[in-house]
Structure 1
Amino acid sequence: MPIGLLAAFAFLPILVALVLMVGFRWPATRAMPLAWLVAAAAGVFVWKMDVVVVAASTLQGFASAVTVLLIVFGALMILYTLSESGGMETINHGFHGISRDRRVQVIIIAFIFEAFLEGAAGFGTPAAIAGPLLMSLGFPALAAVLVALILNSVPVTFGAVGTPIWFGLKNLSHKVEGAIAQAGPAGIGFSDMDGFYMFIGKWASVFHSVMAFILPIFVVCFMTRLFGQNRSWKEGLAVWKFSLFASAAFVIPYLGSAFFIGEEFPALIGGLVGLPIVLYAAKNSWFLPEQAWDFGPQSEWEAEWTGEIATETDISFKPQMSQVRAWMPYVLIGLILVLTRVQFLPLVDWVKAWSIGASGILGQSGIDYALQPLYNPGVVPFILVAVLTVFLHGMSAGKVKKAWGQAFKRMKNPTIALLFAVALVQIFKNSSMNPMEYASMPLSMAQAVAAVTGGSWPLFASFIGALGSFITGSNTVSDLLFAEFQYDIATALELPRQIIVALQAVGGAMGNMVCIHNIVAASATVGLVGMEGVILKRNVIPLLLYGVVVGIMGMVFAYIIFPGVF
C-alpha cells in the first residue's frame, strides 16, 4: 500500500477526535473511545494486526493510564484538601494588597504562581485556581481566563513533576536504547532513558526560557489593548522592567533545575524560588511604573467581558491560618520530591524498589506494563502530603470526607478520557507488529510528512505538539501520541532527534493555551458561558507567536548548534 494512503489511515483516528471535539464539541469522554475504536479498526483491517494484539495493546494502554491517573488523583487530593482546610483561601488572601496595578498582578499570579501550581499539580489546575483569584482582585472574567490560559504554557512541559517528559516520552525507550547500544553513551550524550529525559528537559527549558521573557510582557500588552479604556498596547509596555525582572527570577532557577537536577523540577522550583522574590519586589515597588493601571469602571465594560459570577462581589478570601502553615504542604511536596529524585541520596533506590506489572499481556511478547507505586508522584508525595495536611491544618473528619469525596468524584471524566487516549497510543505504537511488514502508524505519518516538508521541519515540529494538546487536552498525551512520530521524522530527515523531540515537548505545552478542555474548565470557574470560541480565537495569536519563535530557534539548534547529533 502506498505510504501516503497508509499515512491517511493512520491519521484517521486523530481526525475523528479533532472533528468530534472541535466541530461537534463532544467531550473527550465520548470522543476518545470512538477515536480508539477507529484506531483499533485501522489496526485490524489495514495493518492486519491480530485481534489479540489489538486487545493486548488496549489493556497495556489502560494499565499505563493508571500511572497518570494516580498523579491526577493525588493532585486533586491536594487541591481539595487545601480548599477544605482553609489553606488555599489563606494563600489566595496573601496575594491581595501586593499591588493595585493589574499588569503586576497578571505577572505575579498568572505567570509565577501558575508556574508553581503547574509544577506541583498540572492537569488544568493552575488556570482553574488563577482565574477566580484574578476575578476576586477585580478582573473581568474574560480577561482573567485569557491571561491565565496563555501564561500557563512555559511551565507545562514540566507540569505535575515532569509527567509530560518521563511518562509522555516513555514509548521512545526502545528506540533510544537501540541508539545508545549502536553509538555508545559517548556518541549520544547520555547512557540510559533517565539521561534522555534529562537531555530533553534541558533543551526544552532553553526553548521555553526565551518565551518566558517575551510572553509575559506580550500578554500584559494584549490585555491593555483588549480590555483597557484606551485600547493601548503602549500602556502594557510600561511595565517592561518589572516583567523582565520577574522572568529572570523564574528562569534562572528554572534552567538551573533542568540542567542540574532533572526534568521533574524546573516549573516547581522556578515558581517556588521566583515567587517570593517577585512578591518582595512588588511590595517594595521595585521596577514598577509610576502610575498603576486598571480596567476602568465596570459600568463601561463590554457585556461579553463578564459571566454569571459578578466580579469582586461574589468572591472574597479571608485568612484561615498563617501563610507559613498554608504553604507548608507545597513546601513538603517540593522537599520530598527532591529527596526522592536526587540520585546520590539512598531514598531514590528505596522508592524504586517496589514494582508491579505484567509481561506478555494476553501472551503477546513485548507488550508489557510496569509501575513503581512509591516512585509515582501521585502517591509520594501527593497522596502522602494530603494525608499529612489533615494533621498540619487540624482538619475535622467531615472536611476530610468532603475533600477526598470531591477528589474521587472528579476522577470520572479524566479516567474515561485517559484510558482510551493511552490505549489508542499503544495501538499506534504496536501497529509495527503486523504481518504485512507495513511501517507503524506513527512512522507512516512521519514518512509522508517528511516527503512534503523536507529540512524545514523544525519550523513546524512544535505545532504538531500543540495540535496534540488541542485534541487530547494534555501535554502528556500529546507526547504519547506524537513523540514517536517526531522521532521518526527526524530520523527520516537526518535531523538531530533530541532537538525535534524537545520541540514536540515544547509544542505540547504551548498548545495548552488553546486546549478545548482547559478553555471550558477555566471558563466554568469564572462563570463564563458560550465564550469558548472567542477565547480560542484570541489565544491563537500568542500561540502563533510562541510557535514562530520556537520554530526559528529549532532551525538554529538543528542546523548550527547540534547538526547531526543523536
Structure 2
Amino acid sequence: MLVLLSILPILSIFFFLVILRWSARKGMFFSFIITVLIAYFGWQMGVVSITAASLKGVMTALEVGVIVFGAVLLLNVLKESGAVDTIRASFTSISPDRRVQAIIVAWLFGTFLEGAAGWGAPATIVGPLLIALGFPALAAVMIALMLQSTPVSYGAVGTPILVGVNTSLENQPVVDSYIGANGQAMSSFVFDVGAQVSIFHAIVGLFVPLLMSAMLTKFFGKNRSFREGFAIWPFAIFAGLAFVIPFSLVANFLGPEFPSLLGGLIGMAIVIPLARKGFLMPKNIFDFEPRETWRKSWFSDIATEVKPARNISMIKAWMPYVLVALLLVVTRIEALGVRALVSSWVVSFENILGTGINHSLTPFMIPGVVFIVVALLTGVLHGLDGRGMANAFKVSGKTIIAAMAALIVSVPLVQVFINSGINAGGFDSMPLVLAQGAANVFGDSWPLISPAIGALGAFAAGSNTVSNMMFGLFQFGVADQIGANPLYIVALQAVGGAAGNMICVHNVVAASAAAGLIGKEGTLISRLLIPTTFYLVLAGAVGYVWVNGLGLNIGLFLIIVILAVILSMILRSEKRMETN
C-alpha cells in the first residue's frame, strides 16, 4: 500500500501536466495538495513537519528564482544594447542550418556552462540564446533541456559526484566494509564512480546531438519528420565524439571536477573551426517556416526583435558570456582561493520548527548572482544608458513573477516528498519506499532499472546531486543484495539522475520562464519523455551487459534493437536525400 501511495505524487504530476496539459502553476498546486494529504494520512507526517519541509522548498524556490532572474536580465541587457544581433550573426555565420546551430549552441556551449554552473542554469542561458537566433521559443526550451543530460553528472565542478554520491555513502557500515575489503579509501571509490559514470554517459550521450536534431525537425519542421534530423548524422556524431571523448578521458584521469567543463570547451575548439570550413556540413539546409505560419504556442512572451541602438563588436557581444564562464569557474575551484572568500557567508536555517530539517544557502555561490553582476557590468561595457537598463530590469521582473507562481508550489512539493521520512509511523521516506518496491519486483534485473530510479529522484528533487543523496546508499545496498559490483550500480544511479534532469519540473519551469514561455510545461515534459526514455533504456541495457557480461541477455538484445533503429533511421534519411 505504501509503495502504491508513494508513486501517487509522481503520477499526479504526469496526469496534470502531461495528460491534461495544465500549466505548471495549476498542475503543481494540485499535485502539492495530493502530496501533502498522502504525507499526512499515509505517512503520518505531522503538520509541523509538512510545514517545515514546505518552508525549505520555498527558500529553495527563491534561489532558483535568482538564477532565472539573472539569466533573463543578462539576455535583456544584451537585447537593449544590440549585442544579440551580433551573437546571432556569430552562429548563423557558421551555418544557416538550424540543426547545426542547435548542436553547437546547446550541446557544446551548453555542456561547457553545465560543467561550470550546474543546477539547471545552462538551460536558462541557452534557451533565450536560441530564441535570439530565431528559434521558436518552444523549440528553444526543448533543445535547451535536452542538454541537461550527459554533462549533468559533473555539473557545478563535479558536485553531483563529489557531494551527492559521497554524502550518501560516507560513514555507512555496508560501504565501509566493502571498500575496506578492497583496500580503498572513500575518496578513491568516489573517484572510480565518477570515472565509470563517464563511460556510461559517453556511450549513450554520443547520440544526444542526433536526438536534438531529430526532435527539432519532428516537432518544428515543415514535414514533421524524424528523418530530416537524422540526415545530419555525420556532423551530429562528430559533435558527439568531440565532447564525449575528452569528457571521459578527463573523468578517468583528472577526476569528476572538470569532465563537462573541459569536454565542452575542447568540443567547441574542435567543432566550430571545422564547421566554419564546411566539414561534414549538410547539403540540404533546414530552416523553420516563416514566423507568420508558426503556431501561437511556439512564441515567447519575450520580445525577440530588437533594433540595436549601436553596432556591438563580436568581442564585446560575447564578453558577457565569457565573463559568466570565468566567474563561475573561478568561484568554484578551491585551489584558486576565491571560493573560500565567496563561500564564507552562509545563511543557515537549522532545525526548522524543531523538525530536524535544515536549509542553508551561500548567496554569492548562487549562479544567478554571477549573472546579475555580469549584466550590470555589461551595461557599462556596452554603454547602455539608464533607460535601457531600467527597461531590461522591468521586462525581467515580469518574467520572474510569472515563473515564481509555479516554482513556489513545485519545490515545496519535492521537499515534502523527500522529507516524508520524518513521520510518526516509522516509515522510510516516499522515495525510498518506492525504490525498495521496485527492487523487490526486479531483483537480478536491477541494472536495467537502476538509471530509472536515479531519474525518479531527479524528477522529484530537481537535482542530480539530491537524487544521488537520496538513492546512492539504497543503490549500493541493492547491488550488495543481488551480488553485483556496487561501483557499477551507483554509477548507473548517477547516470539516470543526470538524464532525469531533462524532465524534472524544477528545470522545465525555470528554463521556460527564462525564455518567456509560461504554461507549456506539460507539452515540454511529454515531448522530452522521448529522449529521456531513450537515455534510460540504453543506459540500463549497457549497465546490464557491463554487470553480467556479453551474452544472449536482455541487455544485449536492447542495445542491438536501439542501434538497429538508429541505423535504420539514418539509412532512410540517406535514401530520402538521394530521392530529393
Q: Same fold (TM over 0.5)?
A: yes
Distance 1:47 1:505 in 2: 25
Distance 1:45 1:531 in 2: 29
Instruction: Tell me which of 59, 69, 73 is aligned to 2:65.
Output: 69
1:502 Cα offset (Å): 0.6
Distance 1:363 1:548 in 2: 42
Unaligned runs of 5+ in 1: 562-566
Quote the residue 1:441 is aligned against: 430
CA displacement, residues 75-96 of structure 1 (integer Å, 9 cap, x when unaligned): 2332222232222332112112
Quote the residue 1:6 is aligned against: 2
Distance 2:94 2:358 in 1: 52
Q: Give 1:346's aligned amino acid.
A: G
1:293 Cα offset (Å): 0.5
What are the within-5 Å matches in structure 2 for residues 187-266 of structure 1? 191=186, 202-220=195-213, 227=221, 233=227, 239-255=232-248, 266=259
SS state at 1:341 partner = coil
Change (3 A) 1:230 1:80: closer
Q: Give 2:236's aligned amino acid.
A: S
Quote the residue 1:547 is aligned against: 536
1:270 Cα offset (Å): 3.7
Instruction: Tell me which of 394, 398, 404 is aligned to 1:405.
Output: 394
Quote the residue 1:285 is aligned against: 278
Indicate yes or no: 2:75 matched with 1:79. Answer: yes
Quote the residue 2:373 is aligned against: 384
Quote the residue 1:360 is aligned against: 351
Contact 2:70 2:372 (C-alpha < 8 Å) held by counterparts: yes
Distance 2:24 2:296 in 1: 27
Unaligned runs of 5+ in 2: 551-580
Change (3 A) 1:516 1:268: same
Contact 1:143 1:305 (C-alpha < 8 Å) held by counterparts: no
Indicate yes or no: 2:85 matched with 1:89. Answer: yes
Quote the residue 1:98 is aligned against: 94
SS state at 1:357 partner = strand
1:530 Cα offset (Å): 9.3
Distance 2:357 2:527 in 1: 43
Quote the residue 1:126 is aligned against: 126
Distance 1:180 1:391 in 2: 56
Change (3 A) 1:276 1:15: same
Q: Give 2:364's aligned amino acid.
A: L
Quote the residue 1:502 is aligned against: 494
Instruction: Tell me which of 418, 428, 431 is aligned to 1:429.
Output: 418
CA displacement, residues 99-126 of structure 1 (integer Å, 9 cap, x when unaligned): 3555544433453344456566334542
Change (3 A) 1:553 1:295: same
Contact 1:10 1:441 (C-alpha < 8 Å) held by counterparts: yes
Distance 2:216 2:110 in 1: 17
1:209 Cα offset (Å): 2.5
Aligned pair count reads: 534
Distance 2:183 2:41 in 1: 39
Contact 2:451 2:496 (C-alpha < 8 Å) held by counterparts: yes
Change (3 A) 1:131 1:375: closer
Distance 1:33 1:94 in 2: 42
Contact 1:465 1:511 (C-alpha < 8 Å) held by counterparts: no
Contact 2:45 2:423 (C-alpha < 8 Å) held by counterparts: yes
Distance 2:292 2:73 in 1: 38
Distance 2:39 2:537 in 1: 35
1:404 Cα offset (Å): 2.1
Change (3 A) 1:500 1:83: same
What are the within-5 Å matches in structure 2 for residues 17-166 of structure 1? 17-101=13-97, 103-116=99-112, 121-131=121-131, 133=133, 135=135, 150=146, 153-157=149-153
Change (3 A) 1:236 1:49: closer
Distance 1:196 1:48 in 2: 37
Contact 1:153 1:511 (C-alpha < 8 Å) held by counterparts: no
Instruction: Tell me which of 336, 357, 361 is aligned to 1:371.
Output: 361
Contact 2:167 2:469 (C-alpha < 8 Å) held by counterparts: no
Indicate yes or no: 2:473 matched with 1:484. Answer: no
1:348 Cα offset (Å): 1.9
Q: Give 1:550's aligned amino acid.
A: A
Distance 2:525 2:384 in 1: 40
SS state at 1:344 partner = helix
Distance 1:466 1:75 in 2: 26
Change (3 A) 1:236 1:506: same
Change (3 A) 1:239 1:32: closer
Contact 1:201 1:263 (C-alpha < 8 Å) held by counterparts: yes
Distance 1:196 1:56 in 2: 35
Change (3 A) 1:541 1:280: same
1:412 Cα offset (Å): 2.5
Change (3 A) 1:483 1:425: farther
Change (3 A) 1:265 1:323: farther
RMSD over equivalenced CA pairs, Å? 4.5
Identity rate of aligned residues, in percent?
35
Quote the residue 2:312 is aligned against: 321
Quote the residue 2:578 is aligned against: none
Contact 2:73 2:375 (C-alpha < 8 Å) held by counterparts: yes
Contact 2:148 2:498 (C-alpha < 8 Å) held by counterparts: no
Distance 2:437 2:24 in 1: 28
Contact 2:455 2:497 (C-alpha < 8 Å) held by counterparts: no
Which stretch has the larger CA shift, 20-29 or 487-496?
487-496
Q: Give 2:61's aligned amino acid.
A: A
Change (3 A) 1:33 1:197: farther
Quote the residue 1:564 is aligned against: none
Q: Give 2:416's aligned amino acid.
A: I
Quote the residue 2:285 is aligned against: 294
Distance 1:530 1:347 in 2: 40
1:62 Cα offset (Å): 2.3
Distance 2:167 2:20 in 1: 36
Quote the residue 2:574 is aligned against: none
Q: Give 1:367's aligned amino acid.
A: I
Which stretch has the larger CA shift, 321-330 or 179-188?
179-188
Distance 1:515 1:65 in 2: 11
Distance 2:498 2:161 in 1: 10
Change (3 A) 1:251 1:435: same
Q: Give 1:74's aligned amino acid.
A: G
Q: Give 2:200's aligned amino acid.
A: F
Instruction: Tell me which of 340, 347, 351 is aligned to 2:338.
Output: 347
Distance 2:503 2:334 in 1: 32
1:454 Cα offset (Å): 1.4
CA displacement, residues 53-91 of structure 1 (integer Å, 9 cap, x when unaligned): 222222233233333333333323322222322223321
SS state at 2:22 partner = coil
Distance 2:325 2:183 in 1: 31
